[in-house]
Structure 1
């Protein structure tokens, strides 16, 4: 069995690669920068992106299953090349935002990819994580340099999910039968406020980390200045506002699919001490 992993150097994709190798699967990876990918020995690395037809065709030759990182602009090229190569199973890294309605900009981008996969005869599974624990890595520089985090809505409650738990569900769906046609919502096991996330990071690294509250307008302006499209920034700030008033409850999907509970945010922070120190 040969599995192609796209987005193989990302937070989730790299964990998918490691888990597939541990299972004994033959693993290929598609990356734009193979020279700096730093992937493990045993991975066959192809240079290119999902929108590059010729490298993609070569990477898909003989592949039965694909872990697909979402790139809306490249979906049509992927579908064409995957069908031609005879790919049978596609596990898509989607988003829980798909379930938030048609007006959600993030959800709509992911739903377009889901529909393309659904409509083209693949044996599909959609992995839909909510808030990623790795979103907290955006605080790493200010924590290292100032011992502070600036965000709105310190009491906003989330159930952030560890990237390795996302990978564990994805690899289960890639390797085992019984997951075709399933869309799996994924969260961490418990709700935790933004302020308590910052506190958990401080506990993990052994330093006091301040939470300095921004206004929603300041947060949006910061995101846009960092390159986030305005519609996405609006959506992200809206998530935080909603989470402060009506937080979405955690779901037990990780345990149901993999047989073990999802990791807590403090466990994630302990795994990432080096990123904040």
Structure 2
């Protein structure tokens, strides 16, 4: 399936700073006026990262938010105890030719982060 138009360049002055999560569109916009993607017809509401941060600040300042977050987190973890254990496959090795790295490898690579 050919990629469909995802976004057309707006009129000059009608778009005030896209969210940082869509910066990857920049290359396509530099070479034309259409961004193509696998799901070009999917409607999106683009929200500026400053607005997201402002909402996060308000949510974290609300006394009820941390309790609700912790409850949801703990409920999620409790649910995972009853779920089947994750299955690992050889996909990484099949694709890359190298076995997947272990958690021990990750710790060794990030030990300075805990220092």
Name the TM-score class by shorter chain: 0.3 to 0.5
Report 1 or 2 for greater relative contact order, CA contacts < 8 Å, sequence distance ≥ 6: 2
- Give the TM-score normalised by structure 1: 0.21
Whose strand proportion is higher, 1 or 2?
1
The structure with the largest alpha-carbon Rg is 2
- Give the TM-score normalised by structure 2: 0.42
